Amino acid sequence: MAKPKKHAGSPSNRATGKKHPQRSGYTARKKTDDASRSKQTDSGSRPQITTDGASRSKRADAADRSKHTDATDRSKHTDATDRSKKHAASAPAHTHGQARPKQRRADRPGRADVPDAAPAFDCKVARRCGACQLLALPYDAQLNRKQHLIEELFADTSCPVSPIIGMEDPLHYRDKVISPFAPGPKGRILTGMYASGTHRIVETDGCLIENETAQAIIRTVRALMPSFRQEPYDEDAGTGFLRHVQVRVAHFTGEVMVTLITNRREFPGSKNYVKTLRARHPEITTIVQNVNTRQTNVILGEQEHTLYGPGFIVDELCGMRFRISSRAFYQVNPVQAERLYKAALDLAQLDASQEVIDAYCGTGTIGLIASARAGHVIGVEENHDAIRDAQANARLNKVGNIDFEAADAGTFMRDAAAESAYIDTVLMDPPRSGADERFLASLVALAPACISYISCNPTTQKRDADYLATHGYRLERIQPVDMFPFTDHVENVALLKR
């Protein structure tokens, strides 16, 4: 097996002949005693996490994200490779489609229940859609509510909860938009989003949380369908051509990818279609045809054909560049993703002496960002396609102090523990269901000095933190982040140390 790579800034004892696990790309040190571990990871005062805009002292958030279903998606369904989120709930009443000025901030944090009065942000389809449960609240009140819920959830731990990190501008934050297409009455073409818990399309020409460029492109795609004789997909009959359109907008580079999900490979007039669509939207940098002939709820198929451009876009996050394909996982709110990852790494207090494991690493986003601070990072992910994307992203950024393993993270850590490996910090971002007990047992056996736990579901995060607390870890800091304004969802970072 190849020996671990040595890199600038690594501690000198990497080359001293100390025992390393016999695994490709794996660097580790022998375990030291608990006092030594604490010295390596506890470096004095904790970093101060601040909120956007004015100081937000007691705002709140409760929780739900699924790695595999996103409630704030335009579609009820998400493609199988996405870590996404879904939470169905009744939406408050809304009327018109324009945002109104914010109402007065709630007087008492956590006491801001959804009122029956006129909503703070108006959406004419809110009742039928159901994706945005908190539109009736001013944004400050939404943050208060979420902060309070996190504080209540972790109240028995006596661990301080930092003020929630919110957005300066919470509108149109979703840079990935998916819209289904279906036949309507009298030959009309329906597009919009699925009503919560149904396959019924709610027609809309606008959405307060979706990227406006993406929305405009989807409207143009619908307008072009009759002239190109494209029929919308009928899911009952299995007929028609266009099933969905997915638009991804790179927030920091401005690149735009349009993916047309079709019911067959043949695409008559595709060259003229691409020319026409780009004439209307010159900001489009690539167009991809994804073929899905199965009668399934999964949006994306296995076959893809690039119709224009490179077939992917590139965006930047925390100083790193990431290649994003139609099926790659990438946070839909990159503004808040930067703040989430920064919070997780700040709490971990990484430095160039540390060995780090990025469990559930996906396409390597968190691990690559951590590599700028840590001595060496190992990203572990059982999805082979994601590992290939992660390796490509490492090459794109010319990062030499990170390796990726296509393996189950729990098994990998258990084997590393059996080889007396020592890891300073484990970064973990599990799916909505949290970590299973087998994973947690492997984590305890490996005994890293520090765990920085990012969660899309603070309820399962709290459960896992309780398990770790019975096995020698203490919960030291909690940092909620509002990734999905207007919804019940919240991300949360928990720092645990031995």
Query: Does residue 340 contact residue 489 with C-beta atoms inside 8 Å?
Result: no
The helix (H) or strand (E) run that includes residue 189 is: strand 189-194
- What's the gap between Cα 71 and its chain centre? 12
User: pLDDT value at position 339?
Assistant: 98
Active site residues: 456
Model pLDDT, residue 297? 86
Would you state the pLDDT for residue 195? 82
- Which strands sit side by side in the sheet containing 284-291, from one edge to the other? 201-203, 189-194, 176-183, 242-249, 256-262, 284-291, 303-308
**Cα dihedral 185, 191, 193, 198 in deg (nearest 10):** 30
Q: How far apart are CA 147 and CA 193, in angstroms?
A: 29
Residue with tokens 């149904």: 198
423-454 b/e (C-beta count within 10 Å ≥ 16 → b): bbbbbbbbbbebbeeebbbbbbebbbbbbbbb
**Helix, strand or coil for residue 385?**
helix
Hey, CA dihedral for 21, 24, 29, 34, is it positive or negative? negative
Geometric angle at alpha carbon 171, from 106 and 323, rounded to 5°:
135
pTM for this prediction: 0.76
Q: What is the dihedral of CA 423, 428, 430, 435, to 10 degrees?
A: 50
Angle at 377 between CA 371 and CA 383, to 5 degrees: 110
End-to-end CA distance of the chain: 32
Give residue 231's Cα distance to chain centre.
33
- Rounded CA gap, 350 and 434, in Å? 24
> How far is residue 10 from each of residues 25, 359, 396, measured CA to CA in Å?
15, 21, 22
Helix (DSSP H) and strand (DSSP E) numbers for the chain = 11, 18
β-strands 421-422, 402-406 pairing = unpaired
Closest CA to 174 of 134, 227, 232, 214: 214
Q: Say which residue the tokens 């938009």 belong to.
A: 177
Return the biggest CA–CA distance within the chain.
77
Residue with tokens 């999905």: 484
Instruction: Report the C-alpha gap between 226 and 20 in whole angstroms.
Output: 63
Angle between helices 437-446 and 409-418 (to 10 degrees): 30
Q: Which residue has the tokens 């369908």?
A: 225
- Identify whether the C-beta of residue 69 lies closer than 8 Å to the C-beta of residue 85: yes
| Of the candidates 346, 261, 354, 240, the residue with the CA atom closest to the CA atom of residue 303 | 261
> Looking at residue 48, what is its pLDDT?
33
Report residue 321 CA to chain centroid gap.
16
pLDDT at res. 18 = 35
Distances (CA, A) of 205 to 48, 219, 458: 42, 7, 34
Nearest residue to 181 (alpha-carbon basis) of 173, 192, 170: 192
The DSSP-derived string for 354-377 is -EEEEET-TTSHHHHHHHTTSSEE
- pLDDT average per 10 residues of sequence, the chain (498 residues): 36 36 39 39 34 38 39 40 37 34 35 46 86 92 97 96 97 96 93 84 89 97 97 94 98 97 97 98 98 93 96 96 93 96 97 97 96 98 93 97 97 96 96 95 97 97 98 97 96 98
Residue with tokens 């709630």: 106
User: Is the distance from CB of 256 to CB of 264 less than 8 angstroms?
Assistant: no
CA dihedral 359, 365, 371, 376 (to 10 degrees): 30
